[in-house]
Chain A
Amino acid sequence: MSKKAQKANPSSAALRQQAAEQVYQNMQQSQKPPSHLLRNCFNAFWTGGLICLLAQGVQEILLRQGFNLENVGAPTSAVMILLAVILTMLGVYDHISQLAGAGSAVPITGFANSVSSAALEYRSEGLVLGVGGNMFKVAGPVIVFGAAAAFVVSIVTALYYSLGGGAL
C-alpha cells in the first residue's frame, strides 16, 4: 500500500498493529516454556502435607503438655506461625516456596510469611509508616475478602435455616 493510501485510510495503521499483535501472540505461544502443572501440583501436595504433618507433631507434643483437644488448636497455630516467621527472617522461607508453591502458601505458615516478609522489607521506612503501613500489603486482600466471604456465607446459612432448612 502506498503512503498516500495509508494516510487516506486511517484505520489501516490500527489494523496492521492488530495483526502484528496477533502474530506475536502466536509466536509467544509456540515458544512458551512448559508450565509444569503436574510437577507443581505434586510438589505442592507433598510439601503441604509435610507442613501439616509437622503441625500434627506439634499438636501431639502440646497434648502431652496438658492441652486438650478443645484448646490445642490455637497454640499449635501459634507455634507454626513462629516457625514460619523465623524461617522468613533467616531468608529460607522464600527458597522453600520456590519448590513448594501452593504447598507452603496455603497453610497458616504462608500467611505468616506474607506478613513478616512485608514487615521486614519496610523496616527501613520506619516503624509506623513503614512496618505498620505495609505489613498487610500482601496479606491484606486475604483478610478483606476472607471477611467478606464469611459475611456472605453467614447470610446464606441464616437464610437457609430461617426458610426451614434441616440440619446440615
Chain B
Amino acid sequence: MSVMQAGRQTWLFAPAPLLLGSAAVVGKREGAGPLAEDFDVIHKDNYLGQKSFEAAEQKMLEEACNLAVRHAGLGRDEVDLHFSGDLLNQITSSSFTARSLGLPYLGIFGACSTFAEGQALAALAVASGAAQQALSSTSSHTNAAEKQFRYPNEYGAQKNETTQITVTGAGAAVIGQMARKTELRPVKITSATIGKVVDLNVTDPFNMGAAMAPAACACLLAHFKERQVPPDYYDLILTGDLGRVGSPLLQELLLKEGLFLPDKQLNDSGKMIFSDEPKNLAGGSGCGCIAATACGHIRRQMAAGNLRRVLLIATGALLSPLSVQQKESIPGIAHAVSWEVE
C-alpha cells in the first residue's frame, strides 16, 4: 500500500506516482496569451474544422489525450484507466473521446475542478496498484460553454467586469508508477486533498470567482493542516479559475483565517492564461483553464527547474443553467493536488 490517509481529506502517496507525460491543446485566444509558448498545440480555428463547437471540443480533448500518451513514451494499450470530465451536458466530450480511445473509462464531473479530481483519482489508482498507468484529462470550449450556460455566441449581451471567459483548451496527463523515459526531473504527485462543497450564498452566475473562493480557502486550509507542511512549503499555489475577482477574495478569506500568502506564491490560472487587457474581463475559467496551464506551462517550468513544489487547486462552481433560473445559490468545490520535483 502506498496511499495513506492524513486527517480526513488528504491522501499522501509514498512512493509517489510520477507524471509520465502531459499535453495541453488550446484555442486562438489562449494562443495569443502570455503562456502561448508552453502549449503543445494552438488551434487558430475555434471549430477545428468540425461541424459544431461540441465536436471541436471533443477533437481537442482527443488530441490532448493522444499527445500525453505519446509524451509518456507509452502505447495506448498500456494505459489501464482513463478519468475524464468536461462542462457539457452529460460530459459528452469526455465520453465521446473515451469512445475513440477505447480505454477503460470513468467519467467524472466536478465542473471546473475536474482537473484536480481526475489527477487525484488517477494518482490514487496508480498508488494503490489498481492501475499501472492512468490517464486523466479534461477540456472546455468557450463557444460550447457559452452556448450551454449563457447566451448564443453572437448575441450582443454586454458582459460586466466580473464575468470570466471560458478557456478553449484541453489538458491530459498520464500518471504511472514507473517512468518509461528517463527524465532529468520527474514530477511526482505527492498528495491530494479532496475538498468539501462550500456555499456562501453567491447567486450571480456572472461572478463565479466569488462563488468558488470560499471552497478554495477551505480546501487550502485543510491541506496545510492535514499534510502538516508550512505555508511557504510550496513555491507556487495555483488556483484554478478564480480570476481577477475571486483571487483577492481568496487572499482576504485566508487572511481572516490567519494565513498570509504573498502574491508571488499564490497565483491563479485564470489570471495567467490571458493578458490583463480589459477585453479579457475577469480572466479565464473552465476545466481547460487550469488543465492547460498546469499540463503546459507549470510542467515546463518544473522541468526547467524554476519551480520545485506546486500545489494545484482546481475550483469548480457546481451550477447548471436550470439551477440558476430557479434562483438556487452556487455551491463551490475545490480539490488540491501537489506536484513536486526532487
Contacts and interface: CB of A to CB of B under 8 A. Distances in A.
Contact of B154 (A33, A104, A113): A113
Given A31-B249, A121-B147, A93 B200 contact: no
Q: Is the interface of B mostly helix, strand, loop or mixed?
A: loop
Contacts of A118: 152, 155
A124 B141 CA distance: 16
B2 interface: no
Interface stretch (B27-35, B158-166, B187-195, B306-314): B158-166
B290 to A, nearest CB: 22
Nearest to A110: B156
A105 interface: yes
A117 interface: yes
A101 B154 contact: no
Q: Is the interface of A mostly helix, strand, loop or mixed?
A: helix
B219 to A, nearest CB: 16
Interface string A1-38: 00000000000000000001101110110011101000
B327 to A, nearest CB: 15
Contacts of B252: 27, 31
B52 interface: yes
Interface in A76-122: 88-89, 91, 93-94, 96-98, 100-102, 104-105, 110, 113-114, 116-118, 120-122
A10 B29 CA distance: 50
Contacts of A35: 160
A24 B214 contact: yes
B338 to A, nearest CB: 27
B266 interface: no
A148 to B, nearest CB: 20
Contacts of B53: 124
Interface string B107-135: 00000000000000000000000000000
Nearest to A84: B156
Contacts of B295: none
Contacts, number: 85
A1 B248 CA distance: 30
> Which range holds the interface residue count of chain B?
20 to 34
A94 B155 contact: yes
Contacts of A110: 156
B303 to A, nearest CB: 36
Contacts of B159: 98
Contact of A31 (B147, B152, B248): B248
A33 B162 contact: yes
A118 B154 CA distance: 8
B153 interface: yes
A116 B162 CA distance: 27
A155 to B, nearest CB: 30
Contacts of A24: 200-202, 214, 253
Q: Which of B152, B161, B162, B210 has the most CB of A within 10 A?
A: B152
B214 A97 contact: no
B260 interface: no
A138 B155 contact: yes
Given A24-B200, A33-B245, A121-B147, A97 B153 contact: no
Contacts of B202: 24, 28
B140 to A, nearest CB: 17
A28 B200 CA distance: 11
Given A20-B200, A21-B200, A33-B162, A27 B154 contact: no
Contacts of A124: 51-54
A97 B155 CA distance: 9
Contacts of A20: 200, 214
Contact of B152 (A98, A100, A105, A137): A137
Contacts of B253: 24, 27
A129 to B, nearest CB: 14
Interface in B142-172: 147, 151-162
Nearest to B248: A31
- For the complex of A and B, the 4 pairs showing the least CB-CB separation, nearest first, are A97-B156, A121-B152, A117-B154, A124-B52
Given A25-B201, A117-B151, A117-B154, 20 more contacts: A20-B214, A24-B200, A24-B201, A24-B214, A28-B202, A28-B210, A28-B249, A33-B245, A35-B160, A94-B154, A94-B156, A96-B156, A97-B158, A104-B156, A113-B155, A117-B152, A120-B153, A121-B147, A124-B51, A138-B151
Interface of A: 20-21, 23-25, 27-28, 31-33, 35, 40, 88-89, 91, 93-94, 96-98, 100-102, 104-105, 110, 113-114, 116-118, 120-122, 124, 137-138
